[in-house]
Amino acid sequence: MSSLFKKMPGFHRLESLWKLSYRAIAIEPVLTRSADEETKYRIDEIIGRKTEKTTPDMVPLVFGDRVVFTGNAVKGLFRHVISSQLTSAGHTVCVQDVKAPKKGPPEGRQQQCKPENPCFICTWFGTGSRQGALHFSFLESVKNIGDVVARDPIPMIAMMDEFMATSVEKRAFVIVVPVKEGTEFTGWIKGVNLSGEIIGAVKEVVDMSEKGFIQFGGLKTRGYGSMRLEITSIEKYSTTPFKLEKEYKGEELRKFLESCQAEYHNLLTKTSSKTS
């Protein structure tokens, strides 16, 4: 596959800088990953001590006054969806060493790429040994924590593996306080020397999210986490000298994303016709 996608010029050559701003709206209740005890108390106060337990077991991650997803969690989601789509199209992308099962990578995947010959995924998302060209910000709720958490805690019988992530105690009955539907989050993706293909791949994930297929955070199998994404603007900066070259918004943004997505679709087709 390495010969099929448009190569990134390399970090030694700074050709362009990009900022993709986006918003995410919760379609279902959402539980951003785990939280410390202090946050549990804080949320318990917000909802008004409705549970029989001292504090709820699963509450959103909070920074300052906002509910957040870490940039790493968002990046992992994009990486997973794009990797699995490319694999399904017949492209060979790698599995990071830290994620690979002991018996080797799953069918259709290769071992982590050598730094000098990265696959599409390593090029843009990086690996332990290689810097990626994309950087994901925290995804932050627009409103305050008090305005976004569900006021009625949800009791749930937990599977042990779900629950083990939140506590070392072994209770099977857990109290969940998610972020409510309709909550808006904003964030951005920064990039160095981006190609149309990778911007198109991001747009592809956005399209899937519109139909409810992209889920964030915990308890996905329980119907939590679906978020609708929308790219709100793209800024492209030239670098010699550094200045804003173009800001895509509205109709121009729509057209630009459409052309990037066409490049990405073209990449998907290239390999599937070659290997099948």
Examine residue 1 and tell whether it contacts Zn ion (CB under 5 A): no
User: What burial letters (b/e) apply to 173-209, b meaning 16+ CB within 10 Å?
Assistant: ebbbbbbbeebbbbbbbbbbbbbbbbbbbbbbbbeeb
Nearer to Zn ion, 1 or 175 (CB): 1
Stretch of residues binding Zn ion (CB under 5 A), selected from 2-10, 116-124, 162-170, 224-232: 116-124
Examine residue 82 and tell whether it contacts Zn ion (CB under 5 A): no
Examine residue 86 and tell whether it contacts Zn ion (CB under 5 A): no
Per CB under 5 A, the list member of 17, 122, 179, 229 interacting with Zn ion is 122
Nearer to Zn ion, 115 or 223 (CB): 115
Stretch of residues binding Zn ion (CB under 5 A), selected from 70-78, 111-119, 169-177, 189-197: 111-119
Per CB under 5 A, the list member of 81, 94, 145, 174 interacting with Zn ion is 94
The nearest distance, CB 128 to Zn ion, in angstroms, is: 11
Structure tokens at 82: 């794009």
User: Would you list the DSSP string of 185-208?
Assistant: EEEEEEEES--HHHHHHHHHHHHH
Nearest to 59 by CA among 42, 37, 35, 41: 35
Stretch of residues binding Zn ion (CB under 5 A), selected from 51-59, 113-121, 218-226, 227-235: 113-121
Nearest to 226 by CA among 195, 181, 191, 262: 181
Do the Cβ atoms of 232 and 218 come closer than 8 Å?
no
3-class DSSP state of 22: strand
Stretch of residues binding Zn ion (CB under 5 A), selected from 19-27, 118-126, 137-145, 225-233: 118-126
Do the Cβ atoms of 28 and 226 come closer than 8 Å?
yes
The nearest distance, CB 124 to Zn ion, in angstroms, is: 10
- Can you say how many angstroms the Cα of residue 25 is from the centroid of all Cα atoms in its chain? 13
CB atoms within 10 A of CB 126: 18
Applying CB under 5 A, what is the total number of residues that bind Zn ion? 4
The nearest distance, CB 96 to Zn ion, in angstroms, is: 8
Nearer to Zn ion, 40 or 109 (CB): 109
Nearer to Zn ion, 83 or 226 (CB): 83
Per CB under 5 A, the list member of 31, 35, 62, 119 interacting with Zn ion is 119
Structure tokens at 212: 């409810």
Examine residue 113 and tell whether it contacts Zn ion (CB under 5 A): yes
Catalog residues that contact Zn ion under the rule CB under 5 A.
Answer: 94, 113, 119, 122
